[in-house]
Amino acid sequence: MGNQASSATPPSPSRYQSSTLPDSFFTTEASTADKPPPYNAQHSSVIYADNKSKIVFKSSDGQYFALIRKDAESHAGALIPANGSPHSMVDLPESSTILRTLFEFIGARKHPKLLNEKFETLAEIAKAAEKYKVFSAMNICAERMRSFKETHPKLVLLYAAHYDYPHIFDECAPLVITSESLENFAPLLPDSLRLPWLRYHARWSKALSDTISYSGIPYNAWSSGNCWRSCGQMVFQALGTGVHSLNDLSWAFNKRVSPHIDYCDQCKRLCSSWREHAQKQIDAIGIFSETCMNAELVNAEKP
């Protein structure tokens, strides 16, 4: 078994897509999101100098945007610094592309649906909406981010973790726990979620252990040495890679042994029964927020 261990490494799920955003994209400003943006008054005499009803914003790529001050104040909770003068211009670190879309959520108008945005662009809009508390953009950004949970589960989960969308976190959690390493991912979570995430990983580890020790497959279940080498051993090797093997049960119980179970009915039945047992163990893990967040509930489950 040890000589073939490397070939048993689970492949990256085909539905996952890489992103140009760093892993820490939703964590770097989580603690400073409420801080007001910096002011730059040197150009205030150029644009709307005498118009106190409007406020000008400058993007990182040098584009200017003018908003009605009352709209900006009523639709965004952290876009205008409290200590700024009426004639000041606000420098923002976001690009004009992101600000142009974000500002469409401010004012009495139809808001964009964000249906055709690429993930990276949507993520930047969602982060800006949370940072500046553009209330009318938050919910639609959350639902659009949720739609990318299958292809970008890690970043969507971090977004949900740092901006308090527990239902999205719960939906992404099984995909992330079975595809990301515990030691690399846990530090990206807010402090309040790190211990619960360890509890969640422990529950998945128990599910894996119960799957490996499934009593429904006796030691002598394999009818021949060839069945053991081509089927049983291959499944054990797959499960031996850890909780990542539970990301896609078809990989461990079907794809890796497909050449053999295509003609061996007994092994096909054994793998099918084993897979059903594995799925029951996964189902018993429960929803993250229901089984891992409440310490009293976790302690009550201990024998």
3-state secondary structure of 55: strand
pLDDT value at position 35? Answer: 52
pLDDT score of 31: 45
State the pLDDT at residue 274.
Answer: 95
pLDDT at 300: 53
DSSP letter (8 states) at residue 92: -
Q: What is the pLDDT of residue 133?
A: 94
- CB neighbour list of residue 288: distance below 8 Å, 6 or more residues apart: 169, 170, 173, 196, 200
Task: Give the pairing of strands 64-68 and 54-58.
Answer: antiparallel
Residue 88 in 3-state DSSP?
A: coil
What pLDDT is stored for residue 37 in this prediction? 52
Please name the residue ranges forming H helices in the chain. Answer: 69-75, 96-103, 119-131, 135-146, 153-162, 166-177, 182-185, 191-212, 225-227, 233-239, 249-250, 258-261, 265-283, 288-291, 295-301
pLDDT block averages, 10 residues each, the chain of length 303: 54 87 82 48 40 84 92 86 68 95 91 95 97 94 97 97 97 97 96 96 97 84 88 93 95 93 92 96 97 69 55
Q: Which residues contact 67 (CB under 8 A, 6 or more apart)?
A: 54, 55, 57, 103, 106, 107
**What global pTM score does this model have?**
0.86
Q: Give the C-alpha distances (Å, rounded to integers) separating 200 from 175, 279, 285, 295.
A: 12, 16, 8, 12
Can you give the pLDDT at residue 222? 84
> CB burial class (10 A; 0-12, 13-18, 19+) of residue 130?
buried
